[in-house]
Amino acid sequence: MFYEPKDGHGLPHNPFNALITPRPIGWISSRSPDGDDNLAPYSFFNGVAYVPPQVMFASTSAKPDQDGVKDSVANIRDTGVFCVNVVGYDMAEEMNQTSGPWAKEVDEFTDAGIEKAACTLIDCPRVAAAPANLECRLTQVVQIEGEANTVVFGEVIGVHLREDCLRDGIFDARVFQPVGRMGYRDFTRVTELFTLRRPGE
């Protein structure tokens, strides 16, 4: 089949998010200027540069108690910092719980029973048990086509790696089994790897 999104797809569910899979999940922690801690998953997330290391995530709608954005975007816009927490399979349920449409004052760490730790370089909480945490400085907030579609870019200025995830100097995904977002309500987790060498290597 072929369809033009502007005309609809004619399927029972929009297939779009099943076409770009698996997507990494940026579990974004932030703190409001009033000191309310926030945690939410974003699968429109990726790394976008090595030097300096940079990441992005995209927010696709607004919350009624915010001015045209979600809590994460509002906090980051107002404070200039955020943290990306890597999601291991053992925290998949907690990650999902933090995606609820809670009021902006709700601390999702507390709601989902997630232990928090302080970031080292920025005034922001992080998921203490996450395999890795990336402390980020906001670089750009970009409005893209459509209503309330916002992309947040940040520079990674500090990296925490859980010691048990390091095997012979390699950050080994098989230890923590990163969770990926598939289409519909589906997820996947990494349990095995294969290796390819690039042409000429």
Task: Establish if 54 lies at the interface with ligand FMN (CB under 6 A).
Answer: no
For 167, the enclosing helix (H) or strand (E) is strand 166-167
Residue 58, interface with ligand FMN (CB under 6 A)? yes
What are the strands, taking DSSP E only, across the chain?
A: 23-24, 26-31, 37-42, 45-49, 54-59, 81-85, 116-118, 125-127, 132-143, 150-161, 166-167, 170-171, 179-181, 187-189
- Among 29, 31, 37, 42, which residue interacts with ligand FMN (rule: CB under 6 A)? 42
Q: Does 85 bind ligand FMN (CB under 6 A)?
A: no
Q: What is the Cα Rg of the chain in Å?
A: 17
- CB nearer ligand FMN, residue 71 or residue 94: 71
Do residues 42 and 17 make contact, with C-beta atoms less than 8 angstroms apart?
no
Which stretch, 95-103, 119-127, 129-137, 161-169, contacts ligand FMN (CB under 6 A)? 95-103
| Residue among 42 and 109 whose Cβ is closer to ligand FMN | 42
Which spans of this chain sit near ligand FMN (rule: CB under 6 A)?
A: 25, 38, 40-44, 58-61, 63, 70-72, 96, 99-101, 181
